[in-house]
Amino acid sequence: MTKKMLLKISAGIIAFLLILAVLFIAISFLGNPISANIAKDKALKYINDKYSHLNLELKDVTYSPKDGSYLISLSSSTSVDTYFFLSYRDGEIFRDNYEMSVLSGVNTMHRFCDEYKKSVTALVQAKTSDVTHINVLPEKLAKYGLDLDSAFDKTLVKNVEIIISCIGGTDAKHLSEILKTSYEVMQENGYDATKFGITGAYETALTELKNIKPTHIESENLEEILGKAINNTEYDGITVFSKGQK
């Protein structure tokens, strides 16, 4: 066997091994099509046996390299709030979060929070262009008592936390003005919250305050309260994180 032929064989073996390595890495992170199809078939049988009344559609099957399982996403064609996940591994469906996501009212509350966010953001931004984003976070680990697929009602969105992002300054004066304006708009339009957070950005500086209560905002000394929190990184339950300050 010639040296040239040996080099060709060696190159072929190396190329083959590289392909195997790439396939192994891909399977490690993405799973393999055969197992994904088995997971899909198992999920279809599972929902046909248990949830045939829900008009479910299988949306996606994704691999989780963390525990070697497949996550199957399902949703209903007739119910906006009916969507949940199944987890498959080693031939079995081992997790079903239908009760946690759908029956608990979590999905309905998340939809309500999205509607709440859209409405409040538009109202606040009409008053101040410094507010760039508002997020609405529901109370965790709660049973919300909301009817599935019910129409949005802002009075049912209770015990939520409002997170405001703004530009224009990171000082207590600016942040207190943003909070006051946002809170007044919410009060005028019947929107409620039990806790607030705010993140102010200016050039390379950023200041984030959490656990602000409505009573803080209603106080005539809000600027002073925020100033003490910023200077000490904590005051009266308000916590602060800052970076890029001069």
pLDDT of 25 > 80? The answer is no
Local confidence band at 13 (pLDDT 50, 70, 90 cut-offs): low
Please tell me the distance from the alpha carbon of residue 214 to that of residue 40, in angstroms, as a whole number: 48
pLDDT for res 200? 97
Local confidence band at 23 (pLDDT 50, 70, 90 cut-offs): very low
Sequence length of the chain is 246
3-state DSSP call for residue 210?
strand
pLDDT for res 140? 84
Which one, of 206, 179, 173, 177, lies nearest residue 195 by Cα? 179
Q: At 195, which amino acid appears?
A: K
Fold of 106-243: GMP Synthetase; Chain A, domain 3 (3.30.300)
Local confidence band at 67 (pLDDT 50, 70, 90 cut-offs): confident
pTM of the entire predicted model:
0.82
Residue pLDDT, tens place only, 138-178: 988 777 889 999 999 999 998 999 999 999 999 999 999 99
Would you say 112 and 130 are in contact if contact means Cβ atoms under 8 Å apart? Answer: no
Which one, of 204, 113, 202, 125, lies nearest residue 162 by Cα? 113
Sequence spans of domains, the chain: 33-103, 106-243
Residue pLDDT, tens place only, 210-241: 999 999 999 999 999 999 999 999 999 999 99
Residue pLDDT, tens place only, 79-136: 999 999 999 999 999 999 999 999 999 999 999 999 999 999 999 999 999 999 999 9
Structure tokens at 204: 């390379």
